[in-house]
Structures are given as structure tokens and as C-alpha cells.
Structure 1
Amino acid sequence: MRDAHTIAGEKARPVAWQTWVKTSRPFTLTAAVSPVLVGTALAGYEGTFHLWTFLATLFSCLFLQIGTNYFNEYFDHRYGLDHAGSLGAMTVIFKQEMTAGQVLGGGIFCFVIAALLGIVLIFVVGPEIILFGVAGILIAYFYSAKPFKFSSRGLGDIMVFLAMGVLMTWGSYYVQIQQWSWSAFAASVPVGFLVTSILNMNNVRDYQDDLAVNKKTLPVRFGLKFGQRFHAALLVGSYLATTIFVLVHLLPWTALLVWLTFPLAFINVRSVLYATERLAFIKGIKKTSQLHLIFGVVFAASILLATLIR
């Protein structure tokens, strides 16, 4: 483990923009898009939509997600949880494409941008937005960092569900309409299940590496087979939750159109549930990310359709 003086003393070289982009893990950024689309669509269904508020919210969430990825890369390296062959990391520090200080600086910069956009929302919406912003930043930072290290204690799934399911979806709704809504909470649940499934698939892929360094993700705690079954439960649960919330009239009936995406989920589950090759889990992460985005777009579009019909 290296201290701050060692990091500061590293020789920093200019970093190619492609390396910055790679380290941001762009394929994961859909996780920040879907909840904002769904929450904003629900506010539109209830009669309110402000374009600039939507854009500020979207980019704040995106920079928060990018910053989280940078911090995850930095802290996993610092705590010895990654190595040069780690599949879950970009390994830019090991390859000397970036110094640890540059990765850390990237995370700080992204959090600052997210916070500045949050300040804009505070002036537009009100001081209560501070609660959303502080909660999101704390979860994002301590996801990897001490003393909490949520990701290493088997709490990462819960925190991702809360931050990128409930907070982002409900928060995107709230900045538009400034009121509590059980419908917004209901919409956040299937979105949260799917974003949690992305993380779980990542943990399933990294099972052997995490086991070796005692990183206690849920698959490490309960076994690889549990991780595969948990993945299936999260994917199927997102469709069942949507249906239940439609039946109890918390979501418009058009939300059932998300079932049009179920064949993608079925193929995803079938390819992962009985897989033994790590390659299947690697593909599973990308397919789950794609499903999360497609589900979110269809979900948001179905809510907008209900607005037109009504």
C-alpha cells in the first residue's frame, strides 16, 4: 500500500484521451441514463417537464458514475484488490498508462463537476436537493474507500440499488415536480433490480479473483451458484415488480410494454444460469448493461405513451 506522499511523487505524464475514456468504463454508464429517463418520464406523465433541469440531472448522474469508476480503479489498486490481469479493472495503473494520482484526480474532478451541477439544481429546485447529492456522493465514494468499503463487505449490491435505483430515479422525478410519490418509488424498483444485476454479474465474473484477496462480495460469501441464481432473480424480478406495481395502480398500464424486452432477459438468464466458462460471465455483463438501457428506454417511452393516451 502506498501513501499520499508516494502518489504525489510519481512522475505524471500526459494521458491520452482514449485512456481517460477507457478508465471511465463507458459501457457501464448506461446505469446512470436509465433511471434519469424513467424518473423524468414519470414527472412528465404527471404534467411537469423542464429540459434544462433534466440535462443538469443527467450529466450530474453521469459524472458521479464516472467518478465512482475512477475511485474504484484507484482504491482497488491501493488496497491490493486488483492485479495486472484483473478483468474487472482497466489496469491502467499497472500498465503505467496512468499514475495512481491521475486516476484519483480524475475521480475528484468528476465529483466536482457532479457537485457543481447539483448546486445549479439547488438554486433551481431548492435546498432539499442537497440530501440527494450528499447521499449519492457518500455512497459513490465509500463504495470502494475506507472505512466502509461497501463493495468489499458484500454491501455493494444494496448501495447500488439505493444510489442508482431509488435515488437516481426518484431524484430525477423530484427535481421536476418537487413532491414525494409512491409511483416514483415503484418505478425505481425494477430499474434498481437491473442495475444491481450489472454489479452482480461483475462479481460473478470476478469470483475467483475476489476470493483470492478475500473481497467478500455476495458470490464470495454465498458461492458462485448463488451469484448465478441471484442474477436470474434480479432480471425476472424487474418484470414481476413492474407488473405488480401496474396491478396496484402505481404505474400506468402501458408500463407492461417492458415485457417486450423480456426475450433479451430470457436469453441473458439462460446463458448465465448454467455457465461454467468465465467468458460467458464477461459477455453477460455487456448483455445485462444493454438490457438495462433498453428496458429503461422502453419503460420511459411506455410512461410517455400513457401521457399521450390520457
Structure 2
Amino acid sequence: MSDIQPTVASGKPPAWKVWVKTARPFTLTATVSPVLVGTTFAAYQGTFHFWIFLTTFFSCLFLQIGTNFFNEYFDYLYGLDHAGSLGASTVIFRNEMTAGQVLGGAIGCFVIAIILGVVLIFLVGPVVILFGVGGMLIAYFYSAKPFKFASRGLGDVMVYLAMGFLVTWGSYFVQIHEWSWQAFAASVPIGFLETAILNMNNVRDYQDDKAVNKKTLPVRFGLKFGQRYHAALLFGSYVAILLFVLVGLLPPLSLLVLITFPLAWVNVRAVLTATERKAFMIGIKRTALLLFQFGLVFSLAFVLAIFVMPHA
């Protein structure tokens, strides 16, 4: 027995790698892009506070990581995942982390996000409480009872509202402190791409979710629907940019995002013709990367617009 134990122990990944895996780092572009877009649009309109940007970014980042931990924990608790689930990190099933550790990680991330939120309250004002409470409620009840938004087919709406609208427009608001239809317009294409990541996740997990009656949109309307919905979300983000530039809500330089369209085209073509789950797994990472590249170019367009065509 004594010479078996070291072999088992050596087969386990380092603890820090397990924590990082459970945080799902490739999905964190879902925070990076909207914060960058909202902040640079505020800069385009003449206002940029570095410390507010930094505090907002890390508060949103820890909120998303905490959401990922909660999702892992509640899917395990409610029996929605199993050891072979592709959608889960399966760290609990593999005994790489205990359920208590995953829950503790989620709570710890939320605590950090709250502390940073308190800092924002002092920097910006009490209105930040509304953003923070709204974001945390959506994040927690995305997986948890009694609402379990993800299991009721409402995950797409919640992700669009939280990661698309709330984070993009919220990052703008904490800089300028006023409503802006232009900032709202900037949030729309980002929201579409955020939702596309979730939908790609749901398409990949179609068989598993159907088996446990998790009513995601692909489970409700079929796998083909999920594939076509993915195409609509990706192409819709570019259509939204075009329309908002035409009506004057976004500066013409926003059209720079079109340089990322070939990546979206390859992504959509691969998803529409896919027949194996492995292709959908690749699709998730490609969509997350597209969101990052789209958001980066969109933000760069606002920065360039500051010098090329200053906001009136």
C-alpha cells in the first residue's frame, strides 16, 4: 500500500491549477471586453478615471469567477453534472476539490467583489449599490434555487442583461454618471457575443442537459435551433454595429470591428456543419476569443476616435 500512494498523489494536478481550471479562465473575456468597451466609450466622450476603471474591472472579474464556482457547485448539488460531463470542470467528481472548497471559492470571490464594490461607492456614489446587487443576484440565481435561470431557459436573457448591458453600460456610467443611448448601443453587440458563448456551451451540453431536463434553449427548441441561433447572434453583432453607425449612435470608426468578421464567419460555418460535440467545444473557445478580439478592436476604435473625430 505504501508504494501505491505516491503514484496516486503524483497523478493529481497542483492545487493552483485546479482552482484556475474551475475559474474557467477562457470565459473571462466575458468581463474584459464589456469593461473595456464601456470605459473607452466614456473616454471618447471626455471622461476617464483610471482607478475607477481598475476597481470596476476587478470587481466584475471576481464576480464572474465567483459565478463560475457557484455554477460548478450547484450543478453538482442538483445532480445536473456527472463525472463524464463535458460542460463541467468535474473537480468535485475527480476529488480534486471538495464541494465545500468550490462553494468557499465562490463566496470568497463574491466577498472580494463586494469589497471592491464598496470602494466604488466611495469613488462614484451609492448608485453603484444597484449595479452590484443586481449583478450578484443574477450571478447567484443563475444556477441556484429557487429561480435557477439556466435550467429554465432564461440563462440567455440573464447573461445578456448582466454581461452585455449591465457591465458595458455600467462601466460607462461609473465614469460619466449619466444615461446614454450611445453607451446602450455599444452594449448591444457585446451582449450578443456574450450570449453566443453561453449558447455554444448549451449546444455542446445538449445531450446531458436533455437527460436531466435542464430546459436550455437548445433543449427546448432543438440542436439545429441552437446552431442557427449561434449564427444569428454572431452575425447580429456586426449588423448592430452597422445600424448604430448609420443612425449616428456610434462613431464611424466603430466599423473597424469588421476586420474580425472573417473569424466570425469561420466560427459560424464550423458550428453549422458540426456533427460532433468536440466541434462545439472548440466553438466555445473560438467564440470567447472572438468576443475578446471584437471588444479589443471596438475599444481601440473609440480611442482612435478621440484623436480623429473628437466627440462634440
What is the TM-score with the length of structure 2 in the denominator? 0.94
Could you tell me which residue of structure 1 aligns to residue 15 of structure 2? 16
Asked if 1:205 corresponds to 2:204, the answer is yes
Asked if 1:63 corresponds to 2:62, the answer is yes
2:128 and 2:65 mapped to 1: Cα distance? Answer: 20
1:219 and 1:167 mapped to 2: Cα distance? Answer: 25
SS of the aligned residue for 1:29 comes to helix
1:112 and 1:288 mapped to 2: Cα distance? Answer: 29
1:108 and 1:33 mapped to 2: Cα distance? Answer: 21
Could you tell me which residue of structure 1 aligns to residue 223 of structure 2? 224
1:129 and 1:238 mapped to 2: Cα distance? Answer: 28
Could you tell me which residue of structure 2 aligns to residue 275 of structure 1? 274
Alignment of 1:20-59 (within 5 A): 20-59=19-58
Q: Aligned letter for 2:235? A: V
TM-superposed deviation, 1:275: 1.1
Alignment of 1:64-143 (within 5 A): 64-143=63-142
1:54 and 1:253 mapped to 2: Cα distance? Answer: 25
Could you tell me which residue of structure 1 aligns to residue 11 of structure 2? none
After superposing on structure 2, the runs of 4+ consecutive aligned residues of structure 1 that deviate more than 2 Å are none
Q: Aligned letter for 1:216? A: K
1:75 and 1:234 mapped to 2: Cα distance? Answer: 28
TM-superposed deviation, 1:87: 0.6
TM-superposed deviation, 1:292: 0.3
Alignment of 1:158-237 (within 5 A): 158-237=157-236
TM-superposed deviation, 1:24: 0.3
1:172 and 1:33 mapped to 2: Cα distance? Answer: 11
1:161 and 1:276 mapped to 2: Cα distance? Answer: 27
1:131 and 1:124 mapped to 2: Cα distance? Answer: 15
TM-superposed deviation, 1:274: 2.0
1:43 and 1:116 mapped to 2: Cα distance? Answer: 24
1:22-47 superposed Cα distances (whole Å, 9 cap, x missing partner): 11000100100000000001000000
1:184 and 1:61 mapped to 2: Cα distance? Answer: 18
1:57 and 1:21 mapped to 2: Cα distance? Answer: 21
SS of the aligned residue for 2:219 comes to helix
2:276 and 2:145 mapped to 1: Cα distance? Answer: 33
SS of the aligned residue for 1:96 comes to coil
Unaligned runs of at least 5 residues, structure 1: 1-14
Could you tell me which residue of structure 1 aligns to residue 251 of structure 2? 252
1:100 and 1:147 mapped to 2: Cα distance? Answer: 20
Q: Aligned letter for 1:273? A: L
2:242 and 2:306 mapped to 1: Cα distance? Answer: 18
Could you tell me which residue of structure 1 aligns to residue 300 of structure 2? 301
Q: Aligned letter for 1:101? A: G
2:21 and 2:279 mapped to 1: Cα distance? Answer: 22
Q: Aligned letter for 2:211? A: A
1:51-108 superposed Cα distances (whole Å, 9 cap, x missing partner): 1110000001100000000000000000000000001100000011111011000000
What is the TM-score with the length of structure 1 in the denominator? 0.95
2:188 and 2:130 mapped to 1: Cα distance? Answer: 20
Q: Aligned letter for 2:274? A: A
Could you tell me which residue of structure 1 aligns to residue 265 of structure 2? 266
1:281 and 1:30 mapped to 2: Cα distance? Answer: 18
1:163 and 1:306 mapped to 2: Cα distance? Answer: 27
Q: Aligned letter for 1:45? A: Y
1:110 and 1:308 mapped to 2: Cα distance? Answer: 38
Unaligned runs of at least 5 residues, structure 2: 1-13
* Percent identity for Structure 1 against Structure 2: 74
Could you tell me which residue of structure 1 aligns to residue 9 of structure 2? none
Q: Aligned letter for 2:92? A: I
TM-superposed deviation, 1:17: 1.2
